[in-house]
Structure 1
Amino acid sequence: MQSLALALYFLAVFTGLVNALAIPIRRISIPTSERPVISVGKRHYEARQESSTTSTSIIFEPSGFVVTLRPKPTETASTTTTSTTSTSTATSTTSTSTSTTPTSSQQPQQTPPADGSKKWVVAHHMVGNTFPYKKEDWLEDVKLAHESGIDGFALNTGRDEWEPDRIADAYQAALESKLDFKLFLSLDMASLPCNSAENAQYLRKLVLAHVDHPNQLKYDNRAFVSTFAGENCQFGQGGVEYAWKTQFTQHPELQGKIYFVPSFFIDPARFGSFNGVMDGDFNWNSGWPIKVTTNFAKDLLNEVANRVKEESQRGGLLRKPLNQVLSTASAGGDSAEAELQEALSKFIGSTDTDTEHLNALKALSASLGKRDGEEVKPVYMAAVSPWFFTHYGANSFNKNFIFLSDQHLYSKRWESIINSRDQLDIVQVLTWNDYGESHYIGPIKGDQPDSESWTDGMDHTAWLGLTKYYATAFKTGQFPTIEKDQIYMWSRPHSATAQSPDPVPQPTNFELTEDAVWAVVLTTAPAKVTLTTSNNPDANSQKTFDVPAGVSKLSIPITPGGIMKGVIERDGKVVVELAPTPEQFTFQGSPKNYNFNAFVASAVAN
């Protein structure tokens, strides 16, 4: 009996360790044509995408050109948005060229919305990556996020039994910070089970533990709660809408206490059927142009090629790799290539999906009015994200693809959001620490979900400076004064077409990426900006731009062996220089592993 008891004891200890160390991989919603079956822990599911039928137009921005966002020249209030075109002169060390380029003068509404509601910017924090966290780690995250213009964390929580303790630490750290920093739960229904009434009871317990905490985000005097997915949950009730209503939002334990804004991956036309469930909508997929896949781009290329009159030119265009076509366009190539690039650029930072969801929320507004006895405006929470790359093989989590993040996605999406701020209530940055999908803006710390091969040495905290600038504009309705010259630069670590012995192949949609260094500069006054991608620069690897005061988006091609360097000069003097060492960044031609993550760096004037 003693031997049996001892064996059972060690089995229990081993099982506890396995459960404690398990790091969940969250589901994402991806295009229908790219639907792998993804494994989350022991659960399997098929990723989905809601349909979108609208379209928009966004300016074309080739690499080597400059797009400038100018600050508001006066303090006069304005309720209109304008776009203008200006002429910029781009010169290199070996040649001089002048080009007329699109200039984005997108300005946010200059006064707060008439209803007086507060705008919020929050960041998605993966609790599943915080197993080794102590309260001090949470305190560091809270302070850094607050300094970066972020008002709170959406705490993504899954089924691991240790996560409630980390959540409690997060709330306590926020309280001890003495900052106006809010938290709310984002129930990860790709991880949390939702097959029975007992599962719903567990969710209610999670929410009730913090519903009255001083740092709980409140909306309409209710605790704000969100989800990732959950559109298939039935809690043993036989219907999704009925299940969420009876077992969660209108259950006696929670009724009147929560403001529920889930991210359900459903056709927005169904929103109206969630009467008594949804108080708003979080549009997770709005952070990336997920419609733009390799197949989508090839279809556009075929349409462009069909308009080319000469058969030889048409055939040559179709025989080129897609990446080469896009790179040729960015370098100022043939009009056919440029036409394809322009067609794809319309989706970078687009608000098409926001418009679709906002229109659908009108039906939910009527339902909310009936429920509460007064006119209620549903909350709309938009997403913004700087990047997306995940690289798990079929023998792991079977997630290996990118979403198009080139052409200054982060800045353009923010600018679109700011222009639409009167329709948006909350912006959620995706994410603070999701290393598995490469869209983290916080420091690399805690646990990683086997993502070290593409995150080691790939710090993203430089993006926090841009986050603060744009978040401030969204919340206040006015771009902040640029008090110091700043430069932000990023690039992938190797060529898009590089070959590697990596057993996991190139990610789906890799053909969409360009071999380029992307830069955003914030200047206090007109200046010259020089970008360099070679130790022996020529006209292709060094370009100088004359930029006005404000925000300018620049780019330059890069080839294997290339470096990253940016300099801001004014009156013949260097005011900012950014030059990562070769050990920190050298563009590879033959990488050990495929890595479509971004290396990000920044420099600020003293």
Structure 2
Amino acid sequence: MKLLLTALTAVSLAFLPVQAAKEVFAHLIVGNVPEFTLSDWEDDIRLAQASKIDGFVLNIAAQDPSNAASLDLAFHAANNLKFTLFFSFDYLAQGAWPPDRVIALLQKHAPNPSYFKPDGTRPFVSTFEGPASAADWPAIKAATNAFFIPDWSSIPARDAVSRAGGVADGLFSFGAWPDGARNMTTDGDKAFQAALAPQKKAYMMPVAPWFFTNLPGFGGKNWLWRGDELWDLRWRQVAEVQPDFVEILTWNDYGESHYVGPVREKELGLFSSAGAPVNYARGMSHDGWRRFLPFYIGVYKTGAVPERVGEEGVMAYYRTAPAPACPGGGTTGNNGDFGQAEVKPEELVEDSVFYAALLDTDKGVTVTVSIGGKALPGGFNRVPAAGAGTPGVYTGSVPFGGHTGDVVVTVSRDGKMIATAEGGKGISAKCENNVQNWNAVAV
């Protein structure tokens, strides 16, 4: 028996004026990969494919000299591996894009078989911000036949829908993080859908696992948003909202700590160029956040939970130092520039090991969290939507409790081990350069 999650799928598809829908993409910062070889691109694509990600969203800044070579390699690799790519033109990092250059890049790369065309014809195009340049897009669309889903999150969704005569074919929201210590809700997503529904335009929903940045050279960027429980909760919300598309934020934005791709030393140059007090991504794997993506994406696309989850497993994430262990580095919780009340970062995140287990059932299941060899009993505080005893993801957490050392999370059923999550950087009361690293490890 299938456990149906929602009847909204058909409604969502009815709003989408294209044939294809319910694709999942990961946002990739092209400016972080100028040293990538073809092999590097292919390695990342294979990892994404193993996670059932449909494609990469290529974020490109207007003045980045590495764009041309990187894009050629990206499309070469994607064509080889039958993977999907599309552009997100960044209007903030290095200024607005001249429309003739947008047109030229689309005319060059959109004919690739790997360029995403949701109806088989129109190339999908997005942005990072840029509502002030909305008037450029009627001409760009006329020249390229683009299917245009911008991120204009800096203005209300109802205004973005009507900007430049309603030039957008849908909208993408960058609102993937909660305000303050509360958990994320779907209020923002529903506001976007409500604004788009009268014109039957598409919505692309954001999903992110974490956020922390401390890059003084990039305009003094230095704040934290709550990431505790965010990843699993957000995928549950995707299943509820049933957007037309999903964009994971991000594959490789190490500077904002929300990467789900591998950490490669050749991609970490921004920590030096931006004067970061500590390289808070080095040694901080987020691979664990990819662990259940095939399950989450499958539930989103089918609208149902399977009777059996396949391979049962566990993942865990945690910060690597207790909040009081080191100076906070001037980091704020929240960002006043977004109209948020700034608080101490330790008010937003807990000194806890968080874990998620993908199980056919929780009957007979126990969880043990070991920190430095000290075994601490765990449990589940969130169960699948259909209730305890049903297949899906079960989550919980255990406080550090003053313990330091390596972290191992073990899930067993009736005394027999199902899986462990381990191998990440351990918890320590000592901090590099005497500054707190508010990033997390995910194993």
User: Where does residue 280 of structure 1 map in the other structure?
Assistant: 170
User: Where does residue 185 of structure 2 map in the other structure?
Assistant: 350
User: Where does residue 316 of structure 2 map in the other structure?
Assistant: 489
Q: Is the aligned partner of 1:524 residue 2:360?
A: yes
Normalising by the residue count of structure 1, what TM-score does the alignment of the two structures yield? 0.63
Specify whether residues 419 and 228 from structure 1 end up closer, same or farther in structure 2 by C-alpha distance, changes over 3 A only: same
Specify whether residues 205 and 560 from structure 1 end up closer, same or farther in structure 2 by C-alpha distance, changes over 3 A only: farther
Deviation per residue, 1:61-111 (Å, 9 max, x gap): xxxxxxxxxxxxx1376745xxxxxxxxxxxxxxxxxxxxxxxxxxx9699
Deviation per residue, 1:310-344 (Å, 9 max, x gap): xxxxxxxxxxxxxxxxxxxxxxxxxxxxxxxxxx2
Shift of 1:512: 1.3
Specify whether residues 114 and 258 from structure 1 end up closer, same or farther in structure 2 by C-alpha distance, changes over 3 A only: closer
Q: Is the aligned partner of 1:569 residue 2:405?
A: no
Give me the whole-angstrom Cα distance separating, in 1, the residues matched to 2:414 and 2:403.
32
- 1:81-120 → structure 2 map (5 Å cutoff): 117-120=20-23
Deviation per residue, 1:489-524 (Å, 9 max, x gap): 110111223333x8x423434121111110001123
1:474 corresponds to which of 300, 310, 314: 300
Flag structure 1 segments of 5+ consecutive residues without an equivalent.
1-73, 81-107, 234-240, 298-343, 366-376, 602-606
Q: Is the aligned partner of 1:402 residue 2:295?
A: no
2:156 corresponds to which of 259, 264, 267: 267
The 8 Å contact of residues 206 and 247 in structure 2, kept in 1 or not, is answered as yes
Q: Compare CA radii of gyration and give the structure with the larger one.
A: 1
User: Where does residue 498 of structure 1 map in the other structure?
Assistant: 325
Farther off after superposition, 452-461 or 507-516: 507-516
The 8 Å contact of residues 522 and 551 in structure 1, kept in 2 or not, is answered as yes
User: Where does residue 118 of structure 2 map in the other structure?
Assistant: 219
1:428 corresponds to which of 233, 237, 247: 247
- 1:189-200 → structure 2 map (5 Å cutoff): 189-194=91-96, 199-200=98-99
Shift of 1:164: 1.9
Answer 1 or 2: higher relative contact order, Cα 8 Å, separation at least 6.
Answer: 1
Give me the whole-angstrom Cα distance separating, in 1, the residues matched to 2:10 and 2:284.
36
Q: Is the aligned partner of 1:202 residue 2:96?
A: no
Cα RMSD after superposing both structures: 2.6
Shift of 1:590: 5.4
Q: Is the aligned partner of 1:75 residue 2:26?
A: no
User: Where does residue 359 of structure 1 map in the other structure?
Assistant: 194
Shift of 1:574: 2.1
Shift of 1:276: 5.1
Q: Which amino acid aligns with 1:361?
A: L
Shift of 1:457: 1.1
- 1:408-447 → structure 2 map (5 Å cutoff): 408-421=229-242, 424-445=243-264, 446-447=266-267
User: Where does residue 385 of structure 2 map in the other structure?
Assistant: none
Q: Secondary structure at the match of 1:462?
A: helix
Shift of 1:112: 9.6
Q: How many residues align?
A: 407
User: Where does residue 384 of structure 2 map in the other structure?
Assistant: none
Q: Which amino acid aligns with 2:224?
A: I
User: Where does residue 173 of structure 1 map in the other structure?
Assistant: 77
Q: Is the aligned partner of 1:386 residue 2:209?
A: yes
Q: Secondary structure at the match of 1:439?
A: coil
Shift of 1:113: 5.1
Q: Secondary structure at the match of 2:43?
A: helix
Q: Secondary structure at the match of 1:156?
A: strand
Q: Secondary structure at the match of 1:519?
A: strand
User: Where does residue 101 of structure 1 map in the other structure?
Assistant: none
Give me the whole-angstrom Cα distance separating, in 2, the residues matched to 1:227 and 1:469.
28
Shift of 1:379: 1.5
Shift of 1:144: 1.1
2:349 corresponds to which of 509, 513, 516: 513
Give me the whole-angstrom Cα distance separating, in 2, the residues matched to 1:496 and 1:435.
21
User: Where does residue 426 of structure 2 map in the other structure?
Assistant: 585
Q: Which amino acid aligns with 1:440?
A: Y
The 8 Å contact of residues 112 and 476 in structure 1, kept in 2 or not, is answered as no
Shift of 1:138: 0.9
Q: Secondary structure at the match of 1:520?
A: strand
The 8 Å contact of residues 28 and 57 in structure 2, kept in 1 or not, is answered as yes
Shift of 1:537: 4.3
Specify whether residues 545 and 410 from structure 1 end up closer, same or farther in structure 2 by C-alpha distance, changes over 3 A only: closer
Shift of 1:201: 1.1
Normalising by the residue count of structure 2, what TM-score does the alignment of the two structures yield? 0.84
Shift of 1:349: 3.3
Q: Which amino acid aligns with 2:369?
A: T
- 1:252-263 → structure 2 map (5 Å cutoff): 253-254=143-144, 257-263=145-151
User: Where does residue 396 of structure 2 map in the other structure?
Assistant: 554
Shift of 1:483: 2.0
Deviation per residue, 1:241-272 (Å, 9 max, x gap): 433334x233xx33xx2111110121222122
Give me the whole-angstrom Cα distance separating, in 2, the residues matched to 1:151 and 1:527.
36
Give me the whole-angstrom Cα distance separating, in 2, the residues matched to 1:561 and 1:151.
40
Give me the whole-angstrom Cα distance separating, in 2, the residues matched to 1:593 and 1:228.
31
The 8 Å contact of residues 272 and 361 in structure 1, kept in 2 or not, is answered as no
Give me the whole-angstrom Cα distance separating, in 2, the residues matched to 1:579 and 1:142.
25
Flag structure 2 segments of 5+ consecutive residues without an equivalent.
335-344, 382-387
Deviation per residue, 1:123-172 (Å, 9 max, x gap): 00110011101111111111110110100000001121221221121111
Specify whether residues 554 and 226 from structure 1 end up closer, same or farther in structure 2 by C-alpha distance, changes over 3 A only: same
Deviation per residue, 1:212-252 (Å, 9 max, x gap): 1111111332000000011223xxxxxxx433334x233xx
The 8 Å contact of residues 533 and 558 in structure 1, kept in 2 or not, is answered as no
User: Where does residue 183 of structure 1 map in the other structure?
Assistant: 85
Give me the whole-angstrom Cα distance separating, in 1, the residues matched to 2:250 and 2:321.
24
- 1:321-360 → structure 2 map (5 Å cutoff): 344=182, 348-360=183-195
Specify whether residues 354 and 580 from structure 1 end up closer, same or farther in structure 2 by C-alpha distance, changes over 3 A only: same
